[in-house]
Amino acid sequence: MSDADQHDALRALQSRWQTRATEAARQAEKHGVGGTHRANYYKGIADGLKVALQDLSALLDTPTAAASPAVPAETYLPVSPETAQAALEKVGISGAELHPHKDHTFSAILSAFQSIKLSERAEQLEQVAGLVVLEYGRLPDSNKAFIDFAFKEA
């Protein structure tokens, strides 16, 4: 569901709640004479819906991220997987699974038999000209070490 669809759905919900609040207020007035329990019941429904409508209106009236000026996303150079693999091998990382991503970043899943600490590997990789390490750590499902990186300069 797109943001516009969600916004339209919330506006429709707001309209339904407004109708129900108006009907509950009318029922509270109708039962006000001689039927205090029923009148209080409908008054409570009307008051609750009015509070919910205020919250929903505040949410819908706040500017969205789409309406604010877009912050340009970080852009990276398109580099072939072979070039990325060569950069890994340049710092002694061999046997890594390399996963290219659409945003021109790469994820390297490292072999379990690396003799150097992961943080040191990331530092070494960052020394390669034009390369930036985005993140490194361990995958939660397999505990394998990974390094995410990209190229900013040729």
Query: Within this chain, do residues 88 and 144 fall inside the same structural domain, yes or no?
Result: yes
- 82-110 per-position pLDDT tens digit: 999 998 888 888 778 999 999 999 999 98
Residue 73 inside a domain? The answer is no
Query: Within this chain, do residues 55 and 92 fall inside the same structural domain, yes or no?
Result: no
As a whole-number percent, the residues of the chain with pLDDT over 70 amount to: 87
In the Cβ-directed half-sphere of 85, how many Cα atoms lie within 13 Å? 10
Question: pLDDT band at residue 60, thresholds of 50, 70 and 90?
Answer: confident
Domain of residue 50: give its range.
3-61
**Averaged pLDDT score across all residues of the chain:** 81
Query: Within this chain, do residues 116 and 144 fall inside the same structural domain, yes or no?
Result: yes
Q: What is the pLDDT of residue 48?
A: 86
Phi, psi of 114 (to 5 degrees): -80, 130
Query: Within this chain, do residues 102 and 43 fall inside the same structural domain, yes or no?
Result: no
- Number of domains the chain is built from: 2
Query: Within this chain, do residues 91 and 40 fall inside the same structural domain, yes or no?
Result: no
Q: What is the pLDDT of residue 65?
A: 46
Are 29 and 22 a contacting pair, CB within 8 Å?
no
Residue 40 inside a domain? The answer is yes
> In terms of Cα–Cα distance, which of 109, 86, 104 is closest to 151?
104
Residue 13 inside a domain? The answer is yes
Are 99 and 92 a contacting pair, CB within 8 Å?
no
Q: What is the pLDDT of residue 100?
A: 93
